């Protein structure tokens, strides 16, 4: 059976059964899948001081091909919908360790991961190529949130990441 969209999953980092977003800066893949359409599923609220001064933070998540036997071929990641706020934006980058590795760790959420190039591709054609990802294999992805100085309050901001691949029948 071909790979279905339900086989393409995103997980927290931090190892074990981590679901604490503050720990999504290091470690291996967690057994806890990221929830969809849920506030604060990857980011904490921006404080008044962070909004006033501006703030850039990073999170490591994992893509996993959860299909039982097939390789996700020509896998691509992009930002299908960036944030609705004019005062912040999301960028993404692939950990240079590649498929099957835990990738880099950072000391705190304000430290950029070494070797990761960030961008904001808004289409599949401009997306980041993960290549072929074998069944059961993980790939570390970094997400960067940039909050502009003097950012206005926004209590329901969101964005959408999209992953697609080709599949054998």
Average pLDDT over residues 3-25: 96
Cβ proximity of 144 and 92 under 8 Å: yes
Structure tokens at 42: 């990857």
Cβ proximity of 72 and 133 under 8 Å: yes
Buried b (16+ CB within 10 A) or exposed e, 44-83: eebeeebbeeebbbbbbbbbbbbbeebbbeebbbbbbeeb
Tell me the whole-structure pTM to 2 decimals: 0.95
Q: For residue 51, what is the enclosing H or E element?
A: helix 48-53
Model confidence over 57-109: pLDDT tens digits? Answer: 999 999 999 999 999 999 999 999 999 899 999 999 999 999 999 999 999 99
Model confidence over 117-166: pLDDT tens digits? Answer: 999 999 999 999 999 999 999 999 999 999 999 998 887 889 999 999 99
């Amino acid at each position: 059976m071909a790979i279905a969209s339900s086989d393409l999953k995103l997980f927290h980092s931090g190892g074990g059964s981590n679901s604490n977003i503050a720990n999504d800066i290091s470690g291996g893949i967690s057994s806890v899948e990221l929830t969809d359409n849920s506030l604060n599923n990857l980011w904490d609220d921006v404080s008044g001081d962070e909004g006033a001064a501006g703030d850039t933070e990073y999170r490591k998540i994992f893509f996993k091909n959860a299909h039982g036997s097939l390789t996700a071929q020509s896998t691509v990641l992009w930002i299908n919908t960036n944030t609705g706020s004019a005062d912040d934006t999301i960028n993404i980058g692939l950990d240079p360790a590649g498929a099957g590795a835990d990738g880099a760790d950072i000391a705190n959420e304000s430290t950029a991961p070494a070797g990761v190039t960030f961008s904001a591709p808004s289409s599949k054609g401009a997306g980041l190529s993960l290549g072929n990802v074998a069944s059961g294999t993980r790939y570390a992805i970094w997400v960067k949130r940039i909050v502009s100085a003097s950012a206005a309050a926004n209590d329901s901001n969101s964005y959408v990441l999209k992953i697609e691949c080709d599949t054998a029948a």
